Structure 1
């Protein structure tokens, strides 16, 4: 294996240092941040160029043919894709597609060296089938997405713990080549795990941008107002405007009555309608009575709407000299008394007798 130029090691270390600074930046939207992102991208692109010039990796070689120190350069494409996601551009979709291409280059390279686990290899094949619609879980199944998210979080935690274990003893990293190799391989496993998560998020963002691009534009407010003004009056002269001209209220046609020279432009009649309208401004909003109650009752009597008469017959007094009539009244009273004795009050009510 040809030793890489010293500039590649220094350039890659500087790019990783810049990337770490970007991750902890307090202002990720300022001009200084955008300049730092652009500088980091430039360094990583230069690393890619140097790796290609010295033919650091070859598809004809196996993993054992790569020196432990060179394993770290397998992650250059991954770092470039990550930093591209932080860049700002007027064409966000094109930027995301370029990041996707860099992630794919990274996965393809480590797959050539058989560094993908069986599950990661299946996930990579799923991505290659339809990169634009790639998803780690069903988009329509919230429960499944939650389960996958929890499982991948646990996997990532384990990978980070393993990476932290290998990177604890700096003295062993300087003197033990086997520990260095395990450290870089642990980094690759972690970055592979994070690559699939990034591809899932990029796919969702591209889909959202596509919907926004294809959505119909909102109607222009000025044109909408102009169309409403044009449609306010139809061919019959009807208008929905509340502030219609006085000429229309008076029954005239639209337009001036006289020209500048005083010549009539349309027929008109001199009336006192204007004064009548002015008088009607302060009238009540309801109809006032036009007759009194007595007048109304009299009209009802004339129309036969009031029924008169009734049972107003007076009780005739009995003539004391008429003995026959007196006996009849006496017998009638006795019969009524006997009836009341035989039928006491309430005897006919059988509903409330327990």
Structure 2
């Protein structure tokens, strides 16, 4: 019995349920999160197939030709791009491919809205600016730091106002799809589309910034898809199984073959390594000598040579505090010390303490 084809509404609702569940999930690396993400992407892709099969949207129609219940299906490309941003990758190349797919989904979403003239005047200008140079697109064109800051604040305020408007409309019974006013429900869907357009331009700008970072990432030497075992097997095949060896040094026969034959070719080109020496006797004497230079003098001789050169400072330290003992037999030295002490006493009598201080006298 053939399986009954699914309706667009049922597939879209299943995808929306998974998407809303993913928004509240925190463990993005868990297997269940990846399974739900894959299921949501698959469901949205199935929605696109159904939309193409039934020709739900046409370039010959306008916004007034689309029924209110079909407006949410215009967000399928945006939802796919939104989910692709959450796909985890293991290499910069995979991330670049994922971002390219995300960019294409954003572009299809904007082209669909542009065909139905749903984009506002400001959004049409941004879309035209993006089409001129997609890789360098930015919602802030100026390089002035103050102007860029003000533009970012304006974007944040616009996003906040759209969120508040959607939250208010969804809480009001007038905008409920079941039992609500059709015009109000249509207004809610259009407001949601306007919010998604705003986030699309923010997402395209974020893709360009991330692409700039990924362009500076180093290219791995081994392709990510290959394993160490595959690389080892490929290397063995390139070297050949007959001559392959795990040894870092060559075989003895190969080493000996390098030292046979002529030293120079007929053109004077060296054919094997050699060493230039003054004579054969010097080479023989240097075979068993140590690898380091032996001392040429003793420590005492070295210190004596340094003292002769003046590189050793004598005196100072405790030696400078030691006073030589006076020699009692040296009368000249004793008289000299006596005259020095007498002269000092006379100087102190002629110049009493404080006599030179004339500033602090009362």
Q: TM-score with structure 1 length normalisation?
A: 0.61
Partner Cα separation in structure 2 for residue 92 and residue 177 of structure 1? 42
Report the CA distance between 1:27 and its aligned residue: 1.3
Structure 2: distance between partners of 1:129 and 1:273: 75
SS across alignment from 2:85 = helix
Q: Name the counterpart of 2:161.
A: 158
Instruction: Spell out the pairing of 1:125-164 with structure 2 (5 A cutoff).
Output: 125-138=128-141, 140-164=143-167
Q: How does 1:24-39 map to 2 (within 5 A)?
A: 24-39=24-39
Matched with 2:69 is 69
Number of the residue aligned with 1:122: 125
1:12 aligned partner: 12
- List per-residue Cα deviations over 1:299-333 (Å, max 9, x = no partner): xxxxxxxxxxxxxxxxxxxxxxxxxxxxxxxxxxx
**Structure 1: tracts of 5 or more residues without a match:** 217-252, 255-263, 292-354
Q: CA deviation at 1:58?
A: 0.7
Task: Give the C-alpha shift of residue 277 in structure 1.
Answer: 3.5
Q: SS of the residue aligned with 2:88?
A: coil
TM-score (norm 2): 0.59
Number of residues of Structure 1 aligned to a counterpart in Structure 2: 243
CA RMSD of aligned residues (A): 3.5
Which runs of no fewer than 5 residues in structure 2 stay unpaired? 222-274, 310-362
For 2:96 and 2:151, the matched residues in 1 are separated by 26
- Which residue number corresponds to residue 230 of structure 1? none
Aligned-partner Cα distance in 1 for 2:145–2:117: 33
Question: Which residue in 2 is equivalent to 1:203?
Answer: 208
| Bigger Cα displacement from structure 2, 280-289 vs 107-116 | 280-289
Larger radius of gyration: 1
Give yes or no for contact 2:174–2:184 (8 Å, CA) kept in 1: no
SS in 2 for 1:154: helix
Alpha carbons of 1:187 and 1:285: their partners in 2 closer, same or farther (altered >3 Å)? farther
1:277 equivalent among 278, 287, 294: 294
| 1:283–1:143 CA distance, 2 compared to 1 (3 A) | farther
Q: 2:209 and 2:302 mapped to 1: Cα distance?
A: 63
What residue in structure 1 maps to residue 230 of structure 2? none
How many angstroms does 1:266 deviate by? Answer: 3.7
* Contact 2:12/2:47 (<8 A) preserved: yes
| 1:190 and 2:234 correspond | no
